[in-house]
Structure 1
Amino acid sequence: MSLRTGLAGLTGPQRFLLAGSFLIPLGSYAVLPFMSVLLHERLGMGLGTVGIVLATASLVQFSGGVVGGAVADRIGLRHTMVLALVIRTAGFAAFLPGLTHTAAAVAALFLVSCGAALYLPANKAYLVHSADASQRPLLLSTSGSALNAGIALGPLAAAPFVLDSSAGLFAAVTALFAAVTAGHALLPAESPAAAAGPPAAEPGATAPKTTVPVARRLGDRLLGPGALPFGITVLSLYVFMFFQHYLALYAVPRTSTAYYSLVLALYALLLVVAQPLVSDRVARLPYGHVLRLGFAAMATGMAALALGGHLAILVGSLLICCAETTLFLKNDLEALARSTRSPAVVFGRQRLAAGIGAFLSGTAGGGGYEMAERSGHTGLFWAAVALQCVALPPLLIATLRRMRSAHCARAARHPAATAATGRTGGNNSADTGV
């Protein structure tokens, strides 16, 4: 399917959601990147406390995706999106009193984070719920492009107003979210079967009476077909967030603020343009090929950053952008294809995986960068990340394969329990390897 043909075939609700995928991050990132300024400089909060507040809010936003998926399964995709946007609108409105009251600002930040946790799994699930498998790559990649465009433009649009006209900025963002919420309320409700997970048992069917041990049920859940895309998403975000968190500290002293801004602009442009263009090809490639290409690009990009010159920083950043374009999309598509759960639950789990990866990166990165800086060879930090991009993917895959094999061997010794869970004892290499 060509890009033009695919875009021409979008439904009205899909077009609206793609527009919302731009407007929502545009409004959010007009405010959120300046939270440290608001909390520290305007409200006098200590930097250590600011870091804890922002890290906790990020963790809520990512890990809460699991709750968002469960809520969407219970009350429906459209209702969940509207509820989430009502919460986010209330959060941005609460920033108005938060300009002078610390507690109100912190509460507003957590309302916005909770709303995002609820919204994103339902949004992606609604976007693809009426689409066939061939349309999903284009829809998800175009949504990602719109989101990244909003993220890139939001801070630029807000920068002239955030310090001198903060109240007006927060009021404008609140009005934008109120309008987007009203638009979501007018979307048609998805059909009950459209976003459902596995089919229910036929009437009169009797489930086996075998009791399955808790550890066995947990193993089936953690080591099932979705284990690999979940684990790869954790790993992808883990290595990628080193780049997100520490490139500015590394690049600006070696180049300039203007050059760093140019690199970010080119990165955003490539990401926005390339994602829809390569989505169909990424979807057709085997998962193993995408993993090898994606992590190779990530490793090469990190190694280029270690050289530290103007060209090396530009080339390294663009290689990492290519890795982001392929890996993140393929992980979502693979998680959808392997799961029998509803899309909202799948996307919620993927958000959790991303949150775990980002948290691990934040935990390890600060100390690692500080050690490299003290040594006088900061490029070693990027070299170490490049080595992890090479070594960790095969290690993760091999570990999952061994754990899956051991779990299946235990299952084979208890065939009655296997029947009760509806799983076989064989080792499916498609689940655990590439």
Structure 2
Amino acid sequence: MTGTPLRRRKRPQSPARSRLAPFTEFTGPQYFLLAGSFLIPLGSFAVLPFMSVLLHERLGMGLGAVGVVLAVASFVQFSGGVVGAALAERIGLQRTMLLALVIRTAGFAAFLPGLSRPVWAVAALFLVSCGAALYLPANKAYLITGVAEVRRPPLLSASSSALNAGIALGPIAAAPFVLTASAGLFTAVTVLFGLITAGHALLPKETAAGDPAGDPAGDPVGHPVGDPAGEEEQRPAPQLPADEKPVATDSPPFLPFAITVLSVYVFMFFQHYLALYAVGRTSTLFYGLVLALYALLLVVTQPLLSDWIARLPYPRALRIGFTALATGMAALALGHPAAILGGALLICLGEVVLFLKNDLEALSRSDRSPAVVFGRQRLAAGIGAFASGIAGGEAYAWAEGSGHAGLFWVAVAAQCALLPPLLLRTLRRSQGRTRNLS
């Protein structure tokens, strides 16, 4: 019998299975980096959240000095992403990650003599911050370099979920040992980072085109050549309706940078002051439950929603994200435990949508390398966090002193609702003036 052999028809996948399929098709280096995205914050946040305790209670530094040290270290960690991006363009992504991890490992090792010497402890903290600044842009860029655009959302969302899981579990795992076995804890973290550094040394370097050398040739998605599964994934991305596509003339190219500044600015009020607000009105146990549910929702929902977020037109994503933040902040103002829990979960939804969409939009609007884009996004986050810290302290102190701390959250909710359209209007006017002058 001659002719073309019959091909077996594949069974249709269930919606849940098809939604998870992109997360089972990463390359070996991508899986390694995703594991690192969990282990690195796990080790870092086993130590960093307790820095104020170490510097103040164990080493005797004044609270004012401690605040200055932590603020400057945080700003270095965020704003230094621009330096990390420039270095990555000069020496390559893999080498930048490796150098960053060597610096970070040295920083954690320096905490051992820093347990009795404040100068060593401060120097160690700044080494760790510098290492983080250099690592993150190169890490994200390496993760998506050479990858088709439709597969970037699953990678970035999986990386974010792994990072948030490490952040959530790090303090819990280290809490019993911070004060009773500090030297052992710092030694364990140093060894962990040494092993992670050794693993990064084995990653393939990028080729001249920027692709990791270990990626299958000719397939930007990462499937072996001739793999039927790879052929199925080459469907064109669904097109947005014409009336939902963002109009380029109305959207300045630097809009994602400005929106990231604003997103982090309003979000950090929640990050910094929820503990002060919630513990006094509920209990430490309830606050821990809120944080655990928040972390769980963040880790689970961002990968599951990544495809939907990627398809959202940018204006609609901004409306959804800032509406969720505004509603969540307003719910916190009620002060009831159920309102605090519900508000926190709404804020989590806003974070999931805004932070991922801003990164994706920044990548799609820029003709620079991904490392430069992520470095700029880190700088934007640093500016937002710094502004939030400056504005939030006095505002919360005033609201708490007046006996109506809920007014603080009302004011933050108002900013979530009013500042995004004001920012968009200002940027469009500025762009219009620039065009008129040219």
How would you bin the TM-score normalised by the shorter chain?
A: 0.7 to 0.9
| Structure-1 separation of matches of 2:396 and 2:287 | 19
| Structure-2 separation of matches of 1:40 and 1:400 | 44
| Structure-2 separation of matches of 1:309 and 1:48 | 33
2:251 and 2:428 in contact (8 A); partners too? no
The aligned residue for residue 316 of structure 1 is 343
Matched, 1:126 2:142: yes
Matched, 1:166 2:182: yes
- Out of 23, 42, 48, the position equivalent to 1:32 is 48
| Structure-2 separation of matches of 1:194 and 1:409 | 38
| Structure-2 separation of matches of 1:31 and 1:340 | 38
- Out of 10, 13, 18, the position equivalent to 2:34 is 18
Matched, 1:76 2:103: no
| Structure-2 separation of matches of 1:225 and 1:341 | 16
Deviations 1:185-221 (A, max 9, x none): 100011222279xxxxxxxxxxxxxxxxxxxxxxxxx
Displacement of 1:4 after TM fit? 2.5
| Structure-2 separation of matches of 1:16 and 1:322 | 28
1:145 and 1:272 in contact (8 A); partners too? yes
- Out of 302, 319, 322, the position equivalent to 2:329 is 302
Deviations 1:109-152 (A, max 9, x none): 00000000000000000000021101100000000000000000
The aligned residue for residue 228 of structure 1 is 255
| Structure-1 separation of matches of 2:284 and 2:136 | 33
Deviations 1:372-399 (A, max 9, x none): 1111110000000000000000000011
What percentage of residue pairs aligned between the two structures are identical? 73
The aligned residue for residue 209 of structure 2 is 193
Give the paired residue count: 385
Runs of 4+ in 1 over 2 A off after TM superposition: 1-4, 223-226
- Out of 407, 413, 418, the position equivalent to 1:391 is 418
Displacement of 1:407 after TM fit? 1.0
2:252 and 2:431 in contact (8 A); partners too? no
| Structure-1 separation of matches of 2:72 and 2:83 | 16
| Structure-2 separation of matches of 1:224 and 1:75 | 33
- Out of 71, 87, 96, the position equivalent to 2:112 is 96
The aligned residue for residue 376 of structure 1 is 403
| Structure-1 separation of matches of 2:85 and 2:423 | 26
Matched, 1:49 2:49: no
Query: What 5-or-longer segments of structure 2 have no aligned partner?
Result: 1-16, 213-249
Helix, strand or coil at the partner of 2:394: helix
The aligned residue for residue 429 of structure 2 is 402
Displacement of 1:228 after TM fit? 0.4
Helix, strand or coil at the partner of 1:254: coil
Helix, strand or coil at the partner of 1:390: helix
Displacement of 1:2 after TM fit? 3.6
The aligned residue for residue 343 of structure 1 is 370
1:21 and 1:143 in contact (8 A); partners too? yes
Q: 1:397 to 1:55 in 2, by over 3 A?
A: same
| Structure-2 separation of matches of 1:89 and 1:226 | 37
Matched, 1:284 2:311: yes
| Structure-2 separation of matches of 1:314 and 1:7 | 30
The one-letter code matched in structure 2 to 1:71 is L
The one-letter code matched in structure 2 to 1:270 is L
| Structure-1 separation of matches of 2:290 and 2:412 | 20
1:225 and 1:339 in contact (8 A); partners too? no
2:252 and 2:427 in contact (8 A); partners too? no
Q: 1:361 to 1:101 in 2, by over 3 A?
A: same
Q: 1:195 to 1:60 in 2, by over 3 A?
A: farther
| Structure-2 separation of matches of 1:195 and 1:130 | 5
1:25 and 1:150 in contact (8 A); partners too? yes
Matched, 1:270 2:309: no
The aligned residue for residue 247 of structure 1 is 274
Displacement of 1:225 after TM fit? 4.7
Deviates most, 260-269 or 3-12 = 3-12
Displacement of 1:35 after TM fit? 0.3
Length-normalised TM-score, structure 1: 0.87
2:178 and 2:185 in contact (8 A); partners too? yes
The one-letter code matched in structure 2 to 1:45 is M
Query: What 5-or-longer segments of structure 1 have no aligned partner?
Result: 197-222, 412-434
Deviations 1:60-100 (A, max 9, x none): 00000000000000000000000000000000000000000
